[in-house]
């Protein structure tokens, strides 16, 4: 077997004969000179630290460094249903006035409709949740409604959420109102996420009951055609 070595200190040199075979971990290597080994199985020249020292071979790790995992945000779906003693048309009209929602929904502190975009509104939430003062805000767009049947929306920025309120006739002067809300649990409330859903659903129910009273008073004040 012949191996050819080249280096900066000497011209090409041919070794017509391997000097001595040495076994390293069941592999045969041949000394070609001081500090150089030849591996027949790989047809390559392997340097070693010294003629009598122990050769060490370093392998590159095939492991790919793991990127830190991003926290997975939890979404929760909440809903509440009530019966209201007003027709669907009255309930729909009352709920369509978004800026009046803080009057009956306990955790909503303000709703402002954008003047240049009447289907977009800015919402603010301010409430004490399990001893913590929570303040959140978001921009929401109303999707295409179904008159007297459905109002629905989704957030554009801020607190991620979406929801819908549906109106079902249950008599000539009454209706069933179903409110569903889905939201991404804010980071500040993630430690109590498991207790958050029943807490929010209780608030929604409380708000709907106040809305039913609000709609009844509205019906008394506004003549119906």
Q: What pLDDT score does 10 carry?
A: 43
Q: What pLDDT score does 61 carry?
A: 53
Of the candidates 74, 105, 4, the one whose C-alpha atom is nearest the C-alpha of residue 45 is 4
Q: What pLDDT score does 118 carry?
A: 95
Sign of the Cα torsion 217, 165, 99, 75 reads positive
Residue spans per domain, the chain:
3-47, 75-221
Going from the C-alpha of 109 to that of each of 105, 181, 186, the distances in angstroms are 8, 17, 18
Q: What pLDDT score does 188 carry?
A: 87
Question: For the chain (length 225 residues), average pLDDT per consecutive 10?
Answer: 45 44 46 49 49 49 55 86 97 96 96 97 95 94 97 98 98 95 94 94 97 95 69
Q: What pLDDT score does 172 carry?
A: 86
CB-count exposure of residue 208 (10 Å: 0-12, 13-18, 19+): buried
- In angstroms, the CA 36 to CA 7 distance is 12
Q: What pLDDT score does 88 carry?
A: 97
Of the candidates 200, 206, 192, 201, the one whose C-alpha atom is nearest the C-alpha of residue 131 is 192
Report yes or no: 102 and 109 within 8 Å, Cβ to Cβ: yes
Structure token pair of residue 102: 């803080």
Topology classification of domain 75-221: Alpha-D-Glucose-1,6-Bisphosphate; Chain A, domain 4 (3.30.530)
Q: Could you give the residue ranges of the DSSP H alpha helices within the chain?
A: 88-96, 193-221
Instruction: Write down the pTM of the prediction.
Output: 0.67
CA 27 to chain centre: 53
């Amino acid at each position: 077997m012949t191996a050819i070595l080249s280096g900066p200190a000497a011209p090409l040199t041919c070794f017509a004969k391997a000097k001595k075979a040495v076994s390293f971990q069941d592999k045969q290597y041949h000394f070609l000179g001081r500090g150089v080994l030849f591996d027949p199985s790989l047809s390559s020249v392997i340097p070693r630290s010294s003629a009598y020292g122990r050769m060490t071979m370093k392998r590159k790790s095939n492991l790919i460094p793991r990127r830190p995992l991003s926290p997975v945000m939890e979404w929760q779906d909440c809903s509440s249903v009530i019966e209201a003693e007003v027709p669907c048309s009255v309930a729909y009209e009352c709920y369509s006035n978004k800026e009046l929602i803080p009057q009956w929904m306990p955790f909503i502190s303000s709703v402002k409709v954008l003047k240049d975009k009447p289907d977009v509104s800015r919402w603010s939430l301010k409430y004490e949740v399990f001893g913590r003062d929570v303040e959140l805000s978001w921009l929401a767009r109303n999707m295409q409604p179904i008159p007297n049947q459905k109002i629905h929306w989704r957030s554009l920025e801020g607190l991620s959420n979406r929801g819908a309120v549906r109106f079902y006739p249950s008599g000539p002067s009454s209706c069933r109102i179903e409110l569903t809300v889905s939201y991404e649990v804010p980071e500040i409330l993630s430690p109590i996420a498991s207790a958050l859903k029943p807490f929010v659903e209780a608030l929604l129910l409380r708000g709907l009951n106040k809305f039913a009273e609000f709609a009844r008073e509205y019906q008394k004040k506004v003549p119906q055609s």
